[in-house]
Structure formats: structure tokens, C-alpha cells
Amino acid sequence: MKCISRVHVYNIKGQEVVDWLQAHALSDYAATFARLQLDSLHKVSKLSPEQIVAVSEAAEEDEVGAKCVTGHASTFPVGVRIVLEEAVKSLKRDSRSLTLSQRLSCFTDAHSCSFFNVLW
């Protein structure tokens, strides 16, 4: 039996993605993820290699826009793209990328499931 305390529900939309980006030293790209509405680990885990390229291109566009304000910008380095690809691959095997209903289905305690059904 699994302990119900291991189910994490984030109240702030997108906070789990920000935490995940920080854990992979990618927090500079949080605004791009937010703009693209990649606001859950479930969504991020579904990114294909082509979509990861699109995210990196969007980050480059955000940087170019920032150049107009700050006077300097950098492109999305190939190394960062590799880190993002590897992080997404590992996320596909991470239980945090499951939807709440998928997470709850892992529990065998019928009382816990009934409790959450009342809440939702």
C-alpha cells in the first residue's frame, strides 16, 4: 500500500514546472514555458523532440525581444537544448508527470480514493 502523503498537488498554476526547471538549471526559460502554456509537468512530459526545438526557438524569440529592452541577448545554446531534451526524457518516467487521477489510481486504499472523490 502506498502512503497518500506522497501525492503532491500544486495550488499555483505552473509552480511545479518552475521547480522542475530550477532543478535542471533551466529557470531562465520559465517565462517562455509560461507563455507557451506549458504549466504542468504532464504537458511538459508530452513534448516531442520537434516541440522541444519549437520551445527553444520561442525562447530565442523571447531573448531577442529582451534585447530591445536590455541591449543584449543570447541565443538558446545547443547544450541547453540537450539538457532540456534529457530532462524531458527523464520526466516521462517521473510520477510527477501523471495527472491527479492517474496518481490516485496507484493507491489501493479505497477510503483514500473516496476521500478525494468527495473533494473533487
For the chain, the domains span: 12-119
Dihedrals phi, psi of 27, to nearest 5 degrees: -65, -20
* Contact call for residues 108 and 3 (beta carbons, < 8 A): no
pLDDT in tens, 69-112: 444 445 678 888 999 999 999 998 888 887 777 777 776 665 55
Average pLDDT, the chain: 77
Residue at 35: amino acid letter: R
Phi-psi region of 65 (alpha: psi -120 to 50; beta: other; left: phi over 0): alpha
Q: Across residues 36-44, what is the average pLDDT?
A: 94
